[in-house]
Structure 1
Amino acid sequence: MDQADIPGLLSRLASDEDAARKMAVFKLQSSINDPSFADIFISSGGLIILRRLIMSSSGNTLAYSLQSLSRLLEVDMGWDIFEGPTAGDLVERVVELIVTNPLVNILRGAMSILVALVGHSQSETPATLSTPGTFGFRALRPAVAVYPQFFDLVIQKLQSADHALCGTTLMLINALIRDAVSNDPVANSNGKATGTEEWPKFIKKLQDLGLIKAVYHLMQSAALQDLAHPLLEFQSLTKVLLKKWKGVQVDLERPEHRRALKGLHIASAPNKDYMNGKGNANGNPIGRIEELQDSGKKGSRRHNPEKWRRLGFETESPASEFETAGFLGMMDLTDYVRKNEDAFQKMLQEQSAKPLHARCPVARASLAVTLALYEHFDCEHSDVEDVRGHQLPDGKQQEKLFRPLLLQWSRLHTAGLQAFFRLWKSTGAEQDDFGKVVELIRILIDQVIGQAGRGKDVVEVEEDLVEYDVGRLRTLQMDLLGLSFEDQWGKHLSKTRENLRKEALTFVKEQRVRCLLQGSWFSKPAPRKASRGEPEKSENRRATHGTLWRYTKLSHNRRYLHYADFALRTSHDPGLDALHEKVDLRTISSVVSNVSAPNDDSKSDSASNAAPLPSRHSTKITIYSYVNPEEARKDGDGKEQPLLTLYPLNHSLASEWLDGLLMLLDQAPITADTNKLVHLVEDYGLKIRLLNVRMEATYAGPLVGAGKVPSREGLDDDYHYTI
C-alpha cells in the first residue's frame, strides 16, 4: 500500500461502517510489517485506532486487527500500545479472547501478541525499558487473576488440529518459561537466593495441567515439521530447567527441603526395623542401643542411629550428599519413593538383613542414576538461543535432534533405578563395587535411551532398561573400554595386541596339534579304478565295494603322520602299532584343501562352518611331496605328487586337521574356525589385561608436574654425568 494512502486508511479504520473497517484492516495487515509504512502509521495516530478495533470489534475485523498488531510487533515497533494507564485493559482483552473465543484465526493473533509481549522482556535490558513491569509475565498477572483458567485453556490449545495455533501456543509457553527462569532471584555471597524463587512453582503448575504430556505427544506426532522450532526450543528449555534444579543446593533451612527429607524418612517405615529389634551395621540390636541412649530422659524420642544410612546415604548428614545432584537429585529420589513406596520399603527391609558391605545403597543409587541421565542428555549445555531463528536440517538429521524421552525424565529415572537394583543383585556387587555398577548403568542408558528413535514409546524403553541382558551389557562395557584404551594408549595397545596375537597363535597351534595327536577317522571312497595321482599301493590295496575308513594319527614326536585303511570303523581307536603307513612331515611340500578360507562376511562363514557337509566326500585335504626333492631345492620349484588324501566328516574336523598340518609346517592357518578361535583367545587376553588396569587410569591425564622442566634455582655449573 502506498504511504500516501495512510490518512485515507486511518479514516476507513475509524469508520462506523463495519464493511469499511473490515476491508481497511484487511489491507493494513499486509502492509504494516514494512518498517517505513509502520513508522508513518504510528506517527499518524494509528495505534489508537488499532487498539480501539481490538477492544470493540469481533469476527474477521477483530482477527485482522490482532494480526496487524502482531506483525507490527514482529518488526519491533508499536510497543507504545502497551504503555500508559490503558495498557492493562488491552492485555486483559487479549487474555479474554484466548479464554472465551473459539475462532482459530482470532486465537492465533491473540497468542502471537502475547508471545511478543512476554518475550519483549528478554530482548530488552531493564535500563532501556521506559515503563518497567509492563512486559514479560508481569504484564499478564492482572489479567490472569481475572481469568484463572487461562493456563489450563492455553495448554488445551496444544491439542488443536490447527498446527499453526499449536505452534504459536507452544511459543507462548516457551516465552513464559524463559521469562520465569530469567527473573530468578540473584544469589548472595553465600550462594543462597536472596528472594523467593517463583519459577519452580510456576513450572510445577504447568506440569500439573498436563504440559509435559501434551508436548510429548506433539514431539512424537507427524506434525513435527510444522512445529520444529517451538518443540526444539521447549526441549532446550527443559534442559535449562533441569540444570537450574541441579544448581539449587539442598538447604535444611528451607522448609520445602526439610519437608522433602522428612517425607523420605517417614516413607521408609523407620519403626518396622526399630520395633523388630533388628541389628545395625555393627550387628548390635538397634532397640537396645537406643534404650541405653534414652534411659533417664523422660519424653525423649528414640532415634535410629542409622536413620539416614539405612536409606543408602553414606553419612547421617544427607543434605551434604546432594551437593553434586542438587535439588534435582532430591526431586528424583522423593518422586520415586512417593510413587513406589511399598517397593522402597521392601527394598530397605531386604538390605537391612544383609551385612553392611553387601547392601545396595538406595539413595546413592538414585543420585547416580540422576547424574547418568543428566550427562546422557547433555543438560549442562543448552542451546536455546541457537535454536531460535535458525533453519533446522531436514530428514533423518532432524529426527536425531528431537529427544521426546527427555520429557519423561521421572519415568526414566525410576526405570534406571530399578535396573540399578537388578544389576546390583545379578552381579553380586558390594559397596566397593558401587562405581562399577554406576558405569554399567551409564552404558545401559546410552544403549537403550540413546538408540531409541523419536517414535519409540516410553513403556518399551522402560522395559528395555529393566530387562536388558546383563551379558550383552558386559560385552558392551568391554568393547567401550577397549575403544577408550585405543584412544588413550593407541601405540601401546597395538603392541600389546601384537604380542597377544602371537600368544594366541601359539595356543591355537598347540590345540590343533593335539587334535592330530589324538587321531581321527576319515571316510574313504571305494576305488573303481586307480585314482589319478594317488599311490597305487594305498588305493588298490583293497578291492572291496562301498565306503572304506581311514584312521590317521600324528606320532608322539610330531615327525610322522601314521594312517591305515579299514573296512569298518571300530569302536576303539587303533593305536600307532596298527597304523602301518606313515608320511614323514619333512617330505611334505604343501597341503591343499577345498575347505573355505575366511572372508569379510563373518555371518556367511559362521553359517558355512555350522552346516553339515552336503556330501561325505565333498571336502578333502591332500598332502603333497616333491617328485624330485633335489631339483626342488636347486630350482626353488618342482613337480609335486600326492602322498595322502583325507576326507573329513565335518567342517570342524576339516579345520582342525588342515590348519593343524599347516601350523606344523610353520604356515599360517586359513580356515574361518581357526582364525575365529585365534581372535577369541587374543580378545580375552586383552580384556583380562584391561581389567587389571584401574578405570581412572584410562581417562586420567598426566601426573601433576609431568612435562615441566625442573627449576635450576640454587644450582651451579659444577655437575657431571656418570657413564
Structure 2
Amino acid sequence: MASYGSPVTPTSANGKGRGPPVVKIKTGIVHTNTVETKDGQKVRARIDPSLATSEVVRQLCLSLKLAETSKLFALRTDTDELVTDDNLSRVVRDKTPLKLTNAPGIDAAEIVSKLQSRDEVNVRPALRELRKFIKEDEFLLAFLNRDGLRQLLDIIQAYHGNILSAALTAMDNLMELDRGWENLPSTFITRIVAIITTENSINVSRPAISILKKLVEADPRHNPAPGPSSSRGTFSKGKAPLTVYNYGFDVVYEQTRVRPAFLETVVDRLASPEATTALNSLRLINALIASATDEHWEDFIRQLEQLNVRKKVIRLMDNNHGDDLSSSILDFQSNIARVTYRRKTTPVDTGNETHRIMLNQILLAADLPAGDAEGDKWSRLGFDSDNMPAEFARVGVLGLECMHDLAMRDREDFSKMILAQANRDPERRCPFAQASNEVVELLSEHWNIFSGYSTSTSYQPFLLAFHRVHNLTTRFFLRMWNDSMAAVYDFPRVAALVRSQVKVALKNESTTSWFEVEREMLESEYRKVRDRQMKELELEDDLLNKAPIRKLRETLYSESLNFVRDQRFQCLMDGAWFVNAVPLVTAQKDRPQRAWRFLRLDKTKKYLYYVDSPVKMQIRGGLEDLPERIEVSQIADVQLHSGASAPGLLPNSQSDIHPLNGLSAHPHSFSLISAQGYSLADQVADSGATFCDWVDGLNMLRRDGSVVRRETQDMVTVLTEIGLKIKLLDLTGEKVDIPTTLAYEPPPDNLEFFFAD
C-alpha cells in the first residue's frame, strides 16, 4: 500500500469521502486497485507489489479498521483467483479488481462443516466452492487437515445425480495436484469403476473416467521420486515428501474384475453419438493400453480385441469430431502399433496352451488327408519343418495369429486353398505358411512396425485392421504365384511383386475405402502388376546409376563421414570414465590402487588429458581437474583386445564392469600404442557405445583418419542413403529431369575473362 502519512478513512468507488485507504509502506512503485470488502463496499487502494501478500492484507485491514485479525482474511481477484506472493505483482500491475474474502483456512472449515451435515441444501453450494478452491495449496492443506478428503469420499460413495457429479469434479480437480490423494482406499477405486459401468450421465461419467485415468497413470514404475526440492511433495517441513505414484494399472485392473461389464461398457461408449462421451472413453482406453503391465498385458489386450475395439475406433475415423478426439484416435493408433510390435517380437511357444490350440486349429481347418504323418502335414502347409518356434521366428505370435485368423475366417475356402497347393508338383507348390509370414513382414515394413510406435499424423484404418489386410494380401500372393506359374525358386520375385502392390493399394490409406483395397488385391491382373513393377524398377535403376546421382552419393558420404567424425570428437571432448586395465599376464598380481581414469580431449585435439582416481567423482568442464596428459601425435595405433587378441586386458575394477570368465580379454578393452611399440594407456570402457565412440574417435585423430568399427561404417552408410533419398524426393517431387551426363561449357579462347559471383 502507498503511504502518504497516517491511515485515513477509505473512500468509496464513487468518489465520496475524504480519500482512498492508505497504509505505510517501504519504498517502490505503487498502483491503484479497486477492492471490494465483505459487506459489498468498494474502495480504492494503492498497493506496493514488493510487499508480501500477508502484509498487504494486514495493512488493508488496519486501514478499514476491521476488528478481526488479518489472518482471517485473504485477497482474491474478481474471478476468485487467490492473490499470493507469486501473482501479486501481476495483479497489481494489471490493476485487477480485488475482493477481501475469507482466508483459505476459513473457507475450508466452512466447506468441511457443510459436507459433514449431509444436508443437500448445504452440500450443493459447498461442493461448488470446493471445485473452485481445491487446487490452492493453502486451502488444500486446511481441507485435508480437517478430514475433508474423507468427507468428500463419503459423499461420492453415498450420492447420485448432480451432487455426485459435483463431488467427482472436485475430486478430479484435487487429483490434478501431486499430493493429497496418496492413500485412497480400494473401496473408492471400486466405486469409481462401478460409476463408470452403471452411470449414463455424461456429467457423472466424465469426471469418473478422468479420475480412473489418473489412477492408472499414477504408476510406481514411473515414480518421479521427488526430493527435498520438490515444490509440491509435502505439507510438513523437514519430512520426506509423500508420493501419489502408488496405484497404477495393476491396482485398477484388479478392481475392474469386480465389474466384468466395465471394459465392455467403456468400449461400447466409443459408439456414443455424444462426441465427449466417446472422447472420454477413448482416453481411458489409451491410458490402460499404455500402462498395462506384463502380468496382465495378454489378458487385457485379449479382452479388448474380443470387444472389437479396433472396429469402433475405425468408425470414429469416419467422422470429424474435433482436434481432441482426432488426437486421441492417433494415440490409439500408436498404441496399436506398439501392441503389434510386441506380438511380432513375442516368440511362438508350443508349451503355451493358446499357441498350441491355434496351431492345431490351423491343421484341422486345412483338412489334410488323415493318413499323412504329423511332419508331412506341416510340410503340406508350407513349413520347412515341424519346429514351430523356428518357423515363426521372424514374425512371432503376430504371424501365428494372422495365419489362424485366415484359417478360421472361412474354413472351407482355406481348406480348398491349401489342398490346391498340396496337390501340385512340389517344385510348383506355393509354400503357404512362408507366404503368410512374408506378408506379415511386408505389412510390418509398410507401417514401420519395426520401430515399435507410430508417428503418423494421418489416420491409418488399415493398420487397425492388420489381420484383415493380411488375409487379403496373402490371397493376392497365392494368386500371383499361380498366374505367373512360379516355382519354388521364384519366391523372392513374387514377394517383390506383392510388396509393390501393397504400396499401391495402401498408398492413400486415410482416404481410401476398403472396397478400393479389395479391388486392387482381388481384380488386378498379373501382367499389369508385373509391368508396373518393372517400370518402377527401371526408374529406380536408371535414376541411381546416373552420373549426377553417383556424384551426389559421394558428396553425401563425405558429409556423413564428417558428421560422424565431429560427433566422435565431441564425445572425446566431453570426456568419459574408464577402468584402468591390467595385462592378463599380471592379472593374478596386486592391482593398482587407482582403478578409474577420466579421459578428455582438449579443444586443440593435440592432447588427451586425464586423472586417475580410486572412485568416480565429479569432473568439472575444462581441464583444471585433469593434471596428466598424453600427446595425440604419440599414438601410433589403437589396439583392441576383444576375443583372443594379445596381450589381452582385464579390468582393474570389478564394481561396474565384470571381466569374462577365466583370463580372456574384456570385449571393451583397448590400448593406445606408441610408435616404439609400448602402451601409453590401457583402458576398459563401461559400455559398447562408449567403446565404439572412443576407439573410432581416437583412430580418426590419427593422420590416416581411418574408421575401424563396423558400427560406424554402417552408420555412415545409413546416413548417406537417407540423405540421398531425401534429395531424390525433393527432385522427383518437382518432376525435375535428372540428366544422364553433365554438360560443360567450352573453355574460353583467351584469358580475358572473369568468374561471375
Shared fold (TM-score, shorter chain, > 0.5): yes
Paired with 1:429 and 1:107, the residues of 2 have a C-alpha distance of 59
| Mapped pair 1:221 → 2:277 | no
Aligned: 1:109 with 2:196: no
Alignment correspondent of 2:471: 414
Q: Is contact 1:485-1:493 (8 Å) kept?
A: no
1:329 aligned onto 2:399:
yes
Q: What is the 5 A alignment of 1:545-694?
A: none
Look up the match of 1:445.
502
Which consecutive segments of 4 or more residues in structure 1 shift more than 6 A? 126-133, 492-495, 700-703
Aligned length: 439
Structure showing greater radius of gyration is: 1
Is the counterpart of residue 461 in structure 1 residue 517 in structure 2? Answer: yes
Partner of 2:426: 356
Q: Does 1:374 align with 2:448?
A: no
1: distance between equivalents of 2:212 and 2:156?
A: 14
Task: Determine whether 1:137 maps to 2:249.
Answer: yes
Could you say which residue in structure 2 is the equivalent of 1:88?
186
Distance in 2 (CA, whole Å) between partners of 1:158 and 1:222 is 14
Of 463-472 and 36-45, deviating more is: 36-45
Partner of 1:481: 537
Q: Secondary structure at the match of 1:442?
A: helix
TM-aligned CA distance change 1:487 to 1:77, over 3 Å: farther
Distance 1:207 1:257, change over 3 A: closer
Is 2:165 aligned against 1:63? Answer: yes
Q: Percent identity?
A: 29
Report the equivalent of 1:119: 217
Verify the 8 A CA contact 1:136 1:176 in the aligned structure 2.
no
Q: What amino acid is the match of 1:461?
A: V
Relative to 1, partners in 2 of residues 1:145 and 1:200: Cα closer, same or farther, differing over 3 Å?
closer
Q: Distance in 2 between matches of 1:42 and 1:479?
A: 73
Of 471, 493, 497, which aligns to 1:436?
A: 493
Distance 1:161 1:57 in 2: 27
TM-score, normalised with respect to structure 1: 0.56
Greater fraction helix: 1
Mapped to 1, the partners of 2:306 and 2:380 lie a distance apart of: 32
Q: Which structure is higher in RCO with an 8 Å CA cutoff and minimum separation 6?
A: 1
Per-residue deviation, 1:44: 4.4
- Partner of residue 270, structure 2: 158
Q: 2:354 aligns with which of 256, 275, 279?
A: 256
Post-superposition offset of 1:383:
4.5
When residues 424 and 80 of structure 1 are mapped into structure 2, their CA distance, relative to the original with a 3 A threshold, is: same
Instruction: Name the CA distance, whole Å, in 1 between partners of 2:343 and 2:453.
Output: 17
Q: What amino acid is aligned across from residue 268 of structure 1 in structure 2?
A: A
Change (3 A) 1:147 1:430: same
Partner residue in 2 for 1:15: 117
Q: Distance in 1 between matches of 2:515 and 2:298?
A: 27
Deviation, 1:121, is 1.1
- In the alignment, which residue of structure 2 is the partner of 1:176? 288
Kindly report which structure 2 residues correspond to 1:182-221, keeping only aligned pairs within 5 A, or say none.
Answer: 183-184=293-294, 198-221=296-319
Partner AA of 1:270 in structure 2: L
Q: What CA RMSD, in Å, does the superposition of the two structures yield over aligned residues?
A: 3.0
Distance change >3 Å, CA 487–CA 23, structure 1 → 2 = farther
SS for the counterpart of 1:251 is coil
Letter of the structure 1 residue corresponding to residue 439 of structure 2: V
**Contact 1:99–1:150 at 8 Å: present in 2 too?**
yes
Instruction: Give the aligned partner of residue 53 of structure 1.
Output: 155
CA offset at residue 35 of structure 1?
A: 5.0
Q: Is the alpha carbon distance of 1:318 and 1:148 closer, same or farther for their aligned partners in structure 2, counting shifts above 3 Å? A: closer
Instruction: Measure, in 1, the Cα distance between the counterparts of 2:541 and 2:377.
Output: 42
CA contact (8 A) 2:218 2:246 kept: no
State whether residues 415 and 462 of structure 1, in contact with CA within 8 Å, keep that contact through their aligned partners in structure 2: yes
Deviation digits for residues 55-79 of structure 1 (CA, Å, limit 9, x no counterpart): 2222222111111111221233332
- Asked if the contact 1:88–1:142 (Cα under 8 Å) also holds between the matched residues in 2, the reply is no
Pairwise CA distance, 1:271: 1.8
Verify the 8 A CA contact 1:160 1:166 in the aligned structure 2. yes
Give the AA of the match of 2:492: G
* Counterpart selection for 1:42 from 144, 155, 159: 144
Q: Which runs of 5+ in 1 are unaligned?
A: 185-196, 275-301, 387-397, 496-699, 704-723
Q: Give TM-score, length-normalised by structure 2.
A: 0.54
Residue type of the alignment partner of 2:280: T
Alpha-carbon distance between aligned partners in 2 of 1:382 and 1:359, rounded to the nearest angstrom: 34
1:137–1:176 contact (8 Å) kept in structure 2: yes
CA distance in 2, matches of 1:35, 1:381: 43
Distance 1:69 1:153 in 2: 23
Aligned CA distance change for structure 1 residues 54 and 701 (closer, same or farther; 3 Å): closer
Q: Does the CA-based 8 Å contact 1:91-1:140 persist in structure 2?
A: yes
Structure 2 residue matching 1:239: 3-state secondary structure:
helix
Distance between the aligned counterparts of 1:411 and 1:143, measured in 2? 34
Tell me how far 1:376 sits from its aligned partner.
0.9
Give the structure 2 partner of residue 282 of structure 1: none
Task: Give the Å deviation of 1:42.
Answer: 3.4
* Preserved contact between residue 269 and residue 345 of structure 1 (Cα < 8 Å): yes
Residue aligning to 2:708:
none
| Letter aligned with residue 407 of structure 1 | L
Counterpart of 1:222, as a letter, is: N
Decide which moves more: 356-365 or 17-26.
17-26
Measure the CA separation in 2 of the matches of 1:238 and 1:96.
27
1:434 maps to a residue whose letter is: F
CA distance in 2, matches of 1:483, 1:235: 34
Structure 2 counterpart of 1:95, which letter? V
Distance 1:493 1:306, change over 3 A: farther
From the superposition, tell whether residues 139 and 131 of structure 1 become closer, same or farther in structure 2 (CA, over 3 Å).
Answer: farther
